[in-house]
Amino acid sequence: MSYATAITAFAALLDDESAVPAGLLHAERMRHYRANCRINRVAALGNTFATVEALVGADFFAAMARVYVDATPATSANLHALGADFPDFIAGFAPASDLLYLADVARLDWSCWLGFLADDAEAEPPAALAGFAPDTLESLTLTLHPALQLAQSAHWPLADLLAMHQGGATADINAGGQALLVLRADWQQIAPARFAMYLALQQGAPVLAALEAALAVDDSAPVGEWLGWLFASGAVIAITEANGEQA
Amino acid sequence: MKLSQLPVSTGLGLRAPHVEAVLASRPDVAWWEVHSENYFGGGAPLASLLAIRRDYPLSLHGVGLGLGRLGELDARHLAQLRELVQRVEPAAVSEHLAWNQHAGRYYNDLLPVPRVDGVIAHLAGRIAQVQDLLQRPLLIENVSAYVGFAGEVIGEGELMAELHRRTGCGLLVDLNNFHVNALNLGVDPLAEVAALPAAAVAEIHVAGFEYFDGTAVDTHGAAVSAEVLALLDAALRQWGPQPVLLERDSNLGEFAELYQEYLQLALHVRRLEGNTLEVTA
Amino acid sequence: MNKTALLAVALASVLAAGVSTTAAAAEKEKCFGVAKAGQNDCKANGHACAGQASKDMDPKEWKYVPAGTCVEMKGTLKAM
């Protein structure tokens, strides 16, 4: 048996316990490997989607995560990198369909996770803008730090839910939609106009367009202050002019 | 180039739940080993690791490269590992002789490599690739196995020795895994140890295992067994003093508890090495 | 506010903001600490029963009931 044939036969048994155990000794012990792969992923999901797990309880979560894991081949060896599509799975998971907010909470958990583990990057100081004339901001774009993540639910109070799971009061699930930002291990609720502005910047819109996106939501939005906050918090890592040159 | 800069003394596996306690108390541990993948990315986890690195020698132990997988190694994983090695400047970098991916699908476990025709060339090529990328020797570690492969052409110790000869890599010898394989598959752990040349050995792992359904499983969740301690004795007699690591991953209690277990092992190793020196003198 | 005035105000706000204002720090809440990241390890779990397909994982025969903090909010969920 060649090396490739042996690996392929082993993988077939991991995928399907009824596959023929070609060339394997003690093949009945393959269940230990299937168990390890599954338990490792389920445990990692519980760590990453901690608010979802708290909401539904450990048993329901583990069972739900197991259905997801069995239906979704892992795309990375790094357990920290798995789970991007778990929120979408939850949205379509019939036994959780009464918990209408669960998928949005899962998206929030994933945003917190991405922000926490994002690569380090050097921030641009506010002074980096000093050399620009105001009208160049019309075409200037900012690259936001990957540790800055945004989450918003149209219907559910994400910030209240998160606060509840950090020792805060029981959330009123009917309090309406909320937006928040995550920066590394910190988070704060933000106004919808601020969410719109940061989302536009994150998606590569020029500064002017992002300010206008905020003002379209709330025409008295303090957009200058919000722009200043990004720089003051180290959340801007590059400034790019329209001609593509980095400042 | 030296295989590692690890101190020839006993180190301790450092897991996330203990990081804050270690940073706060700076215990008397000769060196630490962490799992590389837990520090891919930046932020607080990496910052805490760099803080520990300022005060202690550190070993980066990978669990996800999958040297034995078919096809190419994962380019992103390699890039993240290189970035981490550049930032941490560890005393040692190690990986498992295992695979974890097939036909585009990952298996989040350390799967044993079939020691059949083609295994040496396959692994030697991947090890050389990683060493070229990192510009330093890689230590490779034997894993535990629950199943065996028919038609194997080489023993595990012999394979490790041959990979050292071909690539210059160092050997990270997990004595608990040899013991688990002895229980599950009937290999002779002393023969595996005997197959490994002292000059190639760069680090030793000891840990505990548990039985599930009659299969010995290396859970790293129990005290080191008497058999593994006896194997450590034999190994140190053969190779002389080595960096020895205590690993604990599951049933992880308070740090203070693990620290006591570490201090006992460190004392045990010093006594063994004392005896070894007397024997060889 | 016209475009030019808007941009001038925005730019002035940034330059006045400085780094790490206390206002920015005060409104923050913590998600989690360094102990959070550590899911990759080299242990095995061993619970062989978890390695077998089982019928109770079939969504059609689902037997689990959400029993976490969502229960505290039960009855307050309105239809969308």
For the purposes of burial, counting CB atoms within 10 Å of the CB of A28, is it exposed (0-12), middle (13-18) or buried (19 or more)? middle
| Pick among A53, A90, A114, A137 to test the C interface (most C CBs inside 10 A) | A137
Does pLDDT of B261 surpass 50?
A: yes
B170 φ, ψ to 5°? -90, 165
Read off the pLDDT band of C72 (50, 70, 90).
confident
Q: How far apart are CA C68 and CA A57, in angstroms?
A: 4
pLDDT digits (tens, 9 = 90+) for C5-62: 898 988 888 888 765 544 444 467 887 777 788 999 888 887 777 777 766 566 678 8
Question: Which among C37, C42, C46 has the least Cβ separation from residue B210?
Answer: C46
Q: Which of residues 21-40 of C touch A (CB under 8 A)?
A: 21, 24, 27-33, 36-37, 39-40
State whether residue B161 is helix, strand or coil.
Answer: helix
What residues in A contact B40, CB-CB < 8 Å? 78, 80-81, 117
Are B219 and C38 inside 8 Å of each other by CB?
no
Question: Which among B38, B64, B68 has the least Cβ separation from residue A77?
Answer: B64
What residues in B contact A79, CB-CB < 8 Å? 37, 108
Read off the pLDDT band of B17 (50, 70, 90).
very high
The stretches in chain A having pLDDT less than 50 are none
Question: Looking at residues B37-44, what average pLDDT do you find?
Answer: 96
What residues in C contact B48, CB-CB < 8 Å? 34
**Strand runs labelled E in chain B:** 10-13, 32-35, 58-61, 92-96, 98-102, 105-112, 139-141, 148-149, 170-174, 201-206, 210-212, 215-217, 244-246
Q: Which two tokens stand for residue B269?
A: 């190793």
What is the per-residue pLDDT for C52? 75
Residue spans of the domains in chain A: they are: 1-99, 118-247
- Closest Cα to residue B29, out of B51, B14, B50, B48? B14
C47 interface with A at CB cutoff 8 Å: yes
Are A26 and B122 inside 8 Å of each other by CB?
no
What is the per-residue pLDDT for C20? 56
Smallest Cα distance from B211 to chain A, Å: 11
Does pLDDT of B277 surpass 80?
A: no
What is the per-residue pLDDT for A247? 56
| Pick among C4, C39, C56 to test the A interface (most A CBs inside 10 A) | C39
From A184, which residue of chain C is nearest by alpha-carbon distance? Answer: C31
Q: How far apart are CA B47 and CA B53, in angstroms?
A: 10
From C20, which residue of chain A is nearest by alpha-carbon distance? Answer: A232
For the purposes of burial, counting CB atoms within 10 Å of the CB of B214, is it exposed (0-12), middle (13-18) or buried (19 or more)? exposed
Q: Using CB atoms, list chains with 3+ pairs below 8 Å to chain B.
A: A, C
In single-letter form, the type of residue at position A19 comes to A
| Pick among B40, B77, B176, B212 to test the C interface (most C CBs inside 10 A) | B212
For the purposes of burial, counting CB atoms within 10 Å of the CB of B102, is it exposed (0-12), middle (13-18) or buried (19 or more)? buried
Go through the domains of chain B in sequence order and give each one's CATH number: 10-280 (3.20.20.150)
A59 interface with C at CB cutoff 8 Å: yes
A117 interface with B at CB cutoff 8 Å: yes
What residues in A contact B146, CB-CB < 8 Å? 26, 29-30, 32-33
Residue with tokens 């204002």: C21
Are C37 and B218 inside 8 Å of each other by CB?
no
Mean pLDDT of chain B: 96
B115 interface with C at CB cutoff 8 Å: no
| Pick among C36, C41, C45, C47 to test the B interface (most B CBs inside 10 A) | C41
What is the per-residue pLDDT for C43? 82
A122 interface with B at CB cutoff 8 Å: no
Are C34 and B44 inside 8 Å of each other by CB?
yes
Smallest Cα distance from C74 to chain A, Å: 9
**In this structure, are residues A221 and A191 in contact, taking their beta carbons and an 8 Å threshold?**
yes
Residue B240: count other Cβ atoms within 10 Å of its Cβ. 14
Q: How far apart are CA B14 and CA A247, in angstroms?
A: 42
pLDDT digits (tens, 9 = 90+) for B43-61: 999 999 999 999 999 999 9
The end-to-end CA distance of chain B, in Å, is: 28
Question: Which among B44, B64, B185 has the least Cβ separation from residue A184?
Answer: B44
Q: Which residue has the higher pLDDT, A194 or B276?
A: A194
What is the per-residue pLDDT for C16? 84
Does pLDDT of B249 surpass 50?
A: yes
A72 φ, ψ to 5°? -130, 100
What is the per-residue pLDDT for B226? 97
Does pLDDT of C76 surpass 60?
A: no
- Spacing of C-alpha B218 from chain mean position: 13
**In this structure, are residues B164 and B170 in contact, taking their beta carbons and an 8 Å threshold?**
yes
User: For the stretch B165-201, what's the b/e string if a residue is b when 16 or more beta carbons lie within 10 angstroms of its beta carbon?
Assistant: eebebbbbbbbbbbbbbbbbbebebbebbebbeeebb
